């Protein structure tokens, strides 16, 4: 009888048997152009999602900007404040998960990085175009690709507004010229887990 009761409790409580990674968290990117809701893919990109959520929890993105915007390509943000001062990563680089099967299709979010494969930290971009050339092709530095870790589930019109913003070259706070910067500051007010 006790064994049957225990089995009934397990069956009635699916959360106990659930893999926590099967739940894909949703974040809201509140911008000066409107809100973008993004569903993160914990199953296919666990390291990238954990890294991103650590920055979200630390409120690292509050007051940052979309500093690089290219029509038909992508919008990039997360690393510079309104004065184009690079705020710096608060964590070590994350292992590149570009080989996870997720593709750089319109409306997906991916980790920005340098030419070094495993160099992504706090910066991210949202694909505005079908950017196949950013997908994983092989394990060479040129072919490794950029790790997609989620997709926009609402607010794609906000992405389009940002993507089509007029841009110019502006100096960073350190005096380094930065190209494709929106003329009008596009603020990331906050990024929070959706309630």
Domain ranges for the chain, please list them. 22-193
Q: Please name which of 177, 179, 182 lies closest in space to residue 166, comparing C-alpha atoms.
A: 182
Q: How many CA atoms lie within 13 A of 71 on its CB side?
A: 7
Predicted pLDDT of residue 195:
73
**Average pLDDT for 31-46:** 98
Condensed to tens digits (0 to 9), the pLDDT of residues 95-135 reads 999 999 999 999 999 999 999 999 999 999 999 999 999 99
Kindly tell me if the per-residue pLDDT of 46 is higher than 80.
yes
Per-residue pLDDT for 54 more than 70?
yes
* Structure confidence by residue, pLDDT tens digits, 141-194: 999 999 999 999 999 999 999 999 999 999 999 999 999 999 999 999 999 999
Q: Which long-range contacts (CB under 8 A, 24 or more apart) does 12-18 make?
A: none
Alpha-carbon distance of 83 to 179, in angstroms, equals 15
* Tokens read off for 83: 């004065």
Region 22-193: CATH code: 2.40.100.10
Local confidence band at 20 (pLDDT 50, 70, 90 cut-offs) = very low
């Amino acid at each position: 009888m006790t064994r049957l009761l225990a089995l009934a409790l397990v069956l009635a409580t699916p959360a106990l048997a659930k893999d926590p990674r099967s739940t894909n968290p949703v974040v809201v990117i509140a911008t000066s152009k409107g809100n973008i809701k993004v569903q993160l893919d914990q199953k296919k990109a666990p390291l990238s999602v954990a890294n991103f959520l650590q920055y979200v929890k630390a409120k690292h993105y509050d007051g940052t900007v979309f500093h690089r915007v290219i029509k038909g390509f992508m919008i990039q943000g997360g690393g510079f404040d309104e004065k184009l001062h690079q705020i710096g990563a608060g964590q070590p680089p994350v292992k590149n998960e570009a080989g996870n099967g997720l593709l750089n299709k319109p409306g997906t979010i991916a980790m920005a990085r340098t030419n070094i494969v495993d160099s992504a930290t706090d910066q991210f971009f949202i694909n505005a175009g079908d950017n196949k050339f950013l997908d994983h092709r092989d394990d060479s530095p040129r072919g490794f690709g950029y790790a997609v870790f989620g997709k926009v589930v609402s607010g794609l019109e906000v992405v389009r507004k940002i993507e089509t913003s007029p841009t110019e070259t502006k100096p960073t706070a350190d005096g380094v010229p930065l190209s494709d910067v929106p003329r009008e500051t596009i603020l990331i007010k906050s990024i929070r887990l959706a309630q």
